[in-house]
Amino acid sequence: MELNHTHDASARSWLASANEPGCDFPIQNLPFGVFRRRGTDEPFRGGVAIGDQVIDLAAVSASGVLDGLAADAARAAAQPALNDLLATGPAAWRALRHALFAALRHDADATVVSALHACLVPQSAVEHSVPTRIGDYTDFYTSIHHARNVGRVIRPDDPLTPNFQWIPIAYHGRASSVVISGTPFHRPHGQAMAPGASAPVYGPCRRLDYELEMGFYVGPGNALGQPIPIGEAEQHIFGMCLLNDWSARDHQFWEMAPLGPFLGKNFCTSVSPWIVTMEALAPYRVPFAHPADEPQPLPYLDSAANSAQGGVDVQLEVLLESAQHRAKSVAPDRLSATSFRHQYWTIAQMLTQHANNGCNLQPGDLLGTGTISGPTYEEAGAIVELSLGGTRQIPLAATGETRTFLEDGDTVVLRGWCEKPGAARIGFGECRGEVLPAIGG
């Protein structure tokens, strides 16, 4: 992905809120989502975040302010889900993003500014839906630091499985339980085997966890039986979001022998409202390489472009807000912070691995990156890592509480952004979810 005029850090918008320091959604970002005005029965439709506003793409399409491929893309995005837009491919995505960039610039034509201004809705006045109709959801397992940390809990003598450094590992999740940020969920019931017990017990999860992840949405799909080469993988990726793969660790660890995650994972997955396009992330691409003394990717997972800029340097943090935080009106505690650049496999490699056997991906499919943990303790992306499998108390400084796993009333907030000198800050907003008590106790 080459840099172009939409990445110019000096570009400014006529919308003042888009130019404020620390803004997640400047003119250089323009992420896509689905929204409607809160408290109405309006149809959901596609929108683009700019400053503290949402550009209503249905209104833009009806206004006639766009033409050509950009107008076609806006019509595709004016639907209750973004699948039609994602199916159009990179040329249409670029045309729409560039047209909106031009219309939002501080020096845009007055007629265009007037037309676009009429299409704005305050973000504070909207509610969101999951951006696409997700036909399939697949979650990867691609942080070697997370794999080693969790592996030490399950298999202390052999924490890393022998295939981890050779293939991007994944499991098929449950698309129907993917929910938009802000949706609460009930603590799940399940079966677990306590250490030293002779029989499992059934009941509410006692080791509830979050997982700091990113997700990425598939654009144009591939025909059944037709692999996607590594050199073409990113032409099939529309953009990225924040993702929390909530996990019932006690249920998960018992059921994983021998087939892998099932009920410990499929009760809820939260995603952030906005999809940040791969074009917007271009200034933050970084080189990718496995350490020289470790296995190198097989040829089908390797390319010069992936080595040169396959990584993405997204800064990430996890915050925990308990019921006491809310009662005392104090800010949530920060549990950890890391960067997506630490992943052992790139998003292109994940997508290529997914389709290498001819699996047919479809527009709007969601792929999770797996938990994102860095090389230090403070960069762990799950509470099972921070609590060392429940053996260490994690202090919450703002309230005096401690945690080993999540409790009822806890809200976990994920935040992400890209930032460096000479480039505009690109934000992802946040992904949050609250734990409600188990149904039936």
125 and 199 belong to one structural domain: no
- What's the confidence (pLDDT) of residue 329? 97
84 and 151 belong to one structural domain: no
Tokens of 181: 């940020």
Q: Tell me whether residue 156 is exposed, middle or buried, using C-beta atoms within 10 angstroms of its C-beta: 0 to 12, 13 to 18, 19 or more.
A: exposed
Which candidate in 128, 146, 251, 342 is catalytic? 146
* Span of 66-80, 142-156, 276-290 with lowest mean pLDDT: 142-156
Whether residue 368 lies inside any domain: the answer is yes
Distance in angstroms (rounded) separating the CA atoms of residues 313 and 341? 5
Which CA distances in Å does 190 have to 206, 208, 255, 269?
10, 11, 10, 17
Active site residue 146: yes
Distance in angstroms (rounded) separating the CA atoms of residues 332 and 395? 12
What's the CA dihedral at 369, 370, 376, 379 to 10 degrees?
A: 80
Nearest one of 118, 17, 107, 101 to 60, comparing CA atoms: 118
Whether residue 97 lies inside any domain: the answer is yes
- What's the confidence (pLDDT) of residue 441? 63
Residue 209 in contact with residue 383, Cβ under 8 Å? Answer: yes
Domain endpoint, select from 82, 111, 129: 129
141 and 116 belong to one structural domain: no
170 and 313 belong to one structural domain: yes
Q: What are the strands, taking DSSP E only, across 287-393?
A: 311-312, 315-321, 333-339, 366-368
| Mean pLDDT of all residues belonging to the chain | 96
Q: Tell me whether residue 107 is exposed, middle or buried, using C-beta atoms within 10 angstroms of its C-beta: 0 to 12, 13 to 18, 19 or more.
A: exposed
- What's the confidence (pLDDT) of residue 155? 72
Give one DSSP letter per residue of 108-141, joined into a string. --HHHHHHHHTTEEEGGGEEEE-SS--S-EEEEE
Omega prior to 168 cis, within 30 of 0: no
304 and 174 belong to one structural domain: yes
- What's the confidence (pLDDT) of residue 421? 97
pLDDT digits (tens, 9 = 90+) for 400-431: 999 999 999 999 999 999 999 999 999 999 99
58 and 103 belong to one structural domain: yes
11 and 76 belong to one structural domain: yes
List the domain range (segments joined by +) for residue 348.
137-436
112 and 152 belong to one structural domain: no
Whether residue 63 lies inside any domain: the answer is yes
Whether residue 296 lies inside any domain: the answer is yes
Whether residue 324 lies inside any domain: the answer is yes
pLDDT above 90 coverage of the chain, percent:
94
Distance in angstroms (rounded) separating the CA atoms of residues 173 and 112? 44
Whether residue 441 lies inside any domain: the answer is no
Distance in angstroms (rounded) separating the CA atoms of residues 204 and 88? 44
Tokens of 434: 């609250």
Where residue 235 sits, what CATH number does that domain have? 3.90.850.10
List Cβ neighbours of 114 (8 Å cut-off, separation of 6 or more).
none
71 and 197 belong to one structural domain: no
- What's the confidence (pLDDT) of residue 404? 98
Q: What is the gyration radius of the CA atoms in the chain, in angstroms?
A: 22
Nearest one of 117, 95, 130 to 51, comparing CA atoms: 117
- What's the confidence (pLDDT) of residue 220? 98
Residue with tokens 């734990």: 435
pLDDT digits (tens, 9 = 90+) for 225-257: 999 999 999 999 999 999 999 999 999 999 988
pLDDT digits (tens, 9 = 90+) for 332-386: 999 999 999 999 999 999 999 999 999 999 999 999 999 999 999 999 999 999 9
Tokens of 303: 């390319």
65 and 165 belong to one structural domain: no
Residue 131 in contact with residue 218, Cβ under 8 Å? Answer: no
Distance in angstroms (rounded) separating the CA atoms of residues 389 and 249? 9
pLDDT digits (tens, 9 = 90+) for 15-56: 999 999 999 999 999 999 999 999 999 999 999 999 999 999
Whether residue 412 lies inside any domain: the answer is yes
- pTM attached to this predicted model: 0.97
Nearest one of 194, 216, 217, 197 to 207, comparing CA atoms: 194
Tokens of 232: 């073409």
Where residue 74 sits, what CATH number does that domain have? 2.30.30.230
pLDDT digits (tens, 9 = 90+) for 199-226: 999 999 999 999 999 999 999 999 999 9
Residue 170 in contact with residue 136, Cβ under 8 Å? Answer: no
Tokens of 65: 């302010």
Backbone φ and ψ for 204, nearest 5 degrees, come out as -60, 145
Bridge partners of residue 269, in order along the sequence: 178
Residue 6 in contact with residue 248, Cβ under 8 Å? Answer: no
Nearest one of 196, 239, 198 to 90, comparing CA atoms: 239
| 195 vs 125, more confident | 125
| Vertex 286 angle, CA 283 and 291, to 5° | 175
Backbone φ and ψ for 324, nearest 5 degrees, come out as -70, -35
**Domain count within the chain:** 2
Residue type, 237: I
* Span of 69-73, 192-196, 243-247, 402-406 with lowest mean pLDDT: 192-196
| 441 vs 357, more confident | 357
Whether residue 196 lies inside any domain: the answer is yes
175 and 277 belong to one structural domain: yes
pLDDT digits (tens, 9 = 90+) for 74-117: 999 999 999 999 999 999 999 999 999 999 999 999 999 999 99
| Vertex 191 angle, CA 190 and 194, to 5° | 130
Domain endpoint, select from 100, 129, 158: 129
Domain endpoint, select from 81, 98, 129: 129
57 and 181 belong to one structural domain: no
